[in-house]
Chains A and B, each alone.
Chain A
Amino acid sequence: MKLPTYEQDLKLFIDDAVVTVFDTMLAMELSPSHRGADFSPNQPQVIGMVGIAGSVTAVICLRVSESFALHLTQVMMGFGPDAFPSGNDVNDVIGELTNIAAGKLKSCFRVPGQPCNLSLPTIVRGHSLDLESMTGTERHSFTFYQADERIVVEFYSHHQQEDSL
C-alpha cells in the first residue's frame, strides 16, 4: 500500500511513538498492522485522548477494548493476576500511555522556536463509540496488535499550513 508523504511520515512517527511507549512502560512488543480494526458495536472500549497545540494542532486517541485496558492496568501497576483494577486505575493507565505517546509525537512535529503544548488526558469509556472530526480536520487511523489484542490509534489534525495559503 503506497501512502502519501504526509501520511507516510505520520505513520512512521506514530508507529515509533506507540511501539516505544508499550515497550518502555509495559515491556510489550506491538506489531503495526495494515489490517483495519473496527471494534464490534457491543464491545466495551476505553479511549485515551490528548490534544497537541502549537506547531501542529491535533488530537491523538488511543483506543483499546475494556478487557485489554484492564490487562494493561494490571501489568503497568504491577497488580497480581487476581487483583481487579478500579475504573480510576484503568483511566490513569490509558491516560498516561496516551500522554507519553503524544509527548513523543510532539517532539516529532517540533518546529524550533515555536512552543507546543499537550493537554491533560481525557478518557472516554463505553461501546458503539464513533469519533467524528470537525470540518477541516483530517483523520488518520493506525492499528497495532499485541498478540490478538488490537490497539487503534487515531490522529485528528488541523492543517495550519493550508490555512495560511
Chain B
Amino acid sequence: MKNPLILLVDDSRATRAIVSKMLSGYECEIIEAANGALGIEAARQNQPKLIVLDMTMPVMNGVEALKALQADEVLKHIPVIMLTANSNPEEMEQLKALGATDYITKTQKPRLILERAIALIGLQAKPGTLAA
C-alpha cells in the first residue's frame, strides 16, 4: 500500500524543515509548497491525504487557500490542519467554520501536528525507528 501523502504549505522553510523532520520517522511522503497558491496547485496534482496549512503567507494566505480548497469538490474532503502564529480563540473558531479540520498554534509543541496526523490519517511509525 502506498504511503499517505502529506502536503505542507508554509512560506517558512525553517518551519517546513521542523515538520518534515518530525514526520520523517513515520510511513508517509511529504510534499512542500511555499504559499497558498502553490499549495492549491500541489493539492490538485497530488491529492494528499492531509494538508498542513500556514496562515500568514505571501501571494495567497492560509484563509484564502482554505476557502479555495473548500470550494473544490475534489479537495474539500481532504483534512486540513491550520498552522498559525496566533492563538485567538475567536479566529480559531472562524477557521473551523471555514472548513479547517483542526488548528495548531506555532507556540504549541510541534509534536501536536504529529499527534493530529496520527489521529486523522492513521499515520504509522516506520519499523525500526525511535517512533515505532
A contact set with B: CB distance below 8 Å: 17, 20-21, 24-25, 73, 76-78, 88-89, 92-93, 95-96, 99-100, 102-104, 106-107, 110, 112-113, 116, 118, 120
Contact = CB atoms under 8 A, between A and B. Distances in A.
Contacts of A112: 90
A76 B88 contact: no
Contacts of B21: 78
Contacts of A76: 14, 17-18
A110 B105 CA distance: 15
A23 to B, nearest CB: 9
A96 B16 CA distance: 11
Given A20-B107, A100-B106, A120-B58, A25 B18 contact: yes
Interface of chain A, main secondary structure? helix
Contacts, number: 71
A25 B108 CA distance: 9
B56 A99 contact: yes
B12 A106 contact: no
Q: Bin chain B's interface residue count.
A: 20 to 34
Interface of B: 12-15, 17-18, 21, 56-58, 84-88, 90, 105-110
Contacts of B87: 103-104, 107
Given A113-B90, A120-B57, 5 more contacts: A24-B107, A78-B18, A92-B13, A100-B85, A103-B106
A89 B105 contact: no
Contacts of A17: 107
A46 B105 CA distance: 25
B17 A103 contact: no
A145 B58 CA distance: 32
30 contacts: A17-B107, A21-B106, A24-B109, A24-B110, A25-B110, A76-B14, A77-B17, A78-B18, A88-B13, A89-B13, A92-B12, A92-B14, A95-B12, A96-B14, A100-B85, A102-B85, A103-B85, A103-B87, A103-B105, A103-B106, A104-B85, A104-B86, A104-B105, A106-B88, A107-B88, A113-B90, A116-B88, A118-B86, A120-B56, A120-B58
Contacts of B15: 96
A100 B13 contact: no
Contacts of A24: 106-110
Given A78-B21, A120-B58, A21 B107 contact: yes
